[in-house]
Amino acid sequence: MFELIITVLFLALTYATGSIIEKNHFKKIKQREIKLIKKPVISYGAKNFKPKRPIKKVELVTGEVVIGGDYFKNFVANLKNFFGGRLTPFESIMDRGRREALLRMREKAKYASIIVNTKLETVLINNTYMKNTVPQCAIIAYGTAITYENKK
């Protein structure tokens, strides 16, 4: 009985903290995306980039993030896993992580004219399959930032 009460308490607490953190994070991501909307252009898979203007600098830029779920999300996902279907709690985590990694990469390359061939690399840090632990996900976004020379 005592254990059940503690579990319910934990679920309620982590539901509150998790949803507050997620809401704030999404708000911040949206603001930053709007700020960068016209800045460096991202294009996926421009393998052989043929420039039309003289180039000043070519550089590799990266952005990393490690994001984790919470106890409540894990509980819900485990329940849903039994019946199958979409695991919405984990979808939102991955979405947040990827967008955050991309934003960090773009913020590092604020000076650049264009970022080409952006790639995303994802890995689960702890193996959580059939275990009662919360997954953590490491995401690296990387691409080539190209700066044109200023027109004279």
Partner 1 sequence: MIITNIESVPGMRIKAQCGLVSGSTVRAKNAIKDFGAGLKNFVGGELKSYTELLTEARNEAINRMIEQAKKLRANAVINVRFATSSITAGAAEVYAYGTAVEVEKIEG
Kindly tell me which of 81 and 122 has the beta carbon lying closer to partner 1: 122
Q: How far, in whole angstroms, is CA 138 from its chain's centroid?
A: 9
CA-to-CA dists, residue 51 to 39, 92, 146, angstroms: 18, 37, 10
Pick one of 8, 9, 12, 21: the residue that binds partner 1 (CB under 8 A). 21
Chain residues 113-152 in contact with partner 1, contact rule CB under 8 A: 116-117, 119, 121, 123-127, 134, 136, 138, 140, 142-144, 146
| Phi, psi dihedrals of residue 63, rounded to the nearest 5° | -145, 130
What share of residues in the chain are helix, strand, coil (percent, to 5)? 45, 25, 30
Verify binding: residue 26, partner 1, rule CB under 8 A. no
Bridge partners for 147 per DSSP: 57
Kindly tell me which of 35 and 53 has the beta carbon lying closer to partner 1: 53
Kindly tell me which of 78 and 144 has the beta carbon lying closer to partner 1: 144
The answer to whether the CB of 73 falls within 8 A of the CB of 18 is: yes
Verify binding: residue 9, partner 1, rule CB under 8 A. no
Binding footprint of partner 1, residue count (CB under 8 A): 46
**Cα–Cα distance between 136 and 17 in angstroms, integer?**
17
- What is the contact surface with partner 1 in residues (CB under 8 A)? 13-14, 17-18, 21-22, 25, 46-51, 54-55, 58-60, 62, 64-71, 73, 100, 116-117, 119, 121, 123-127, 134, 136, 138, 140, 142-144, 146
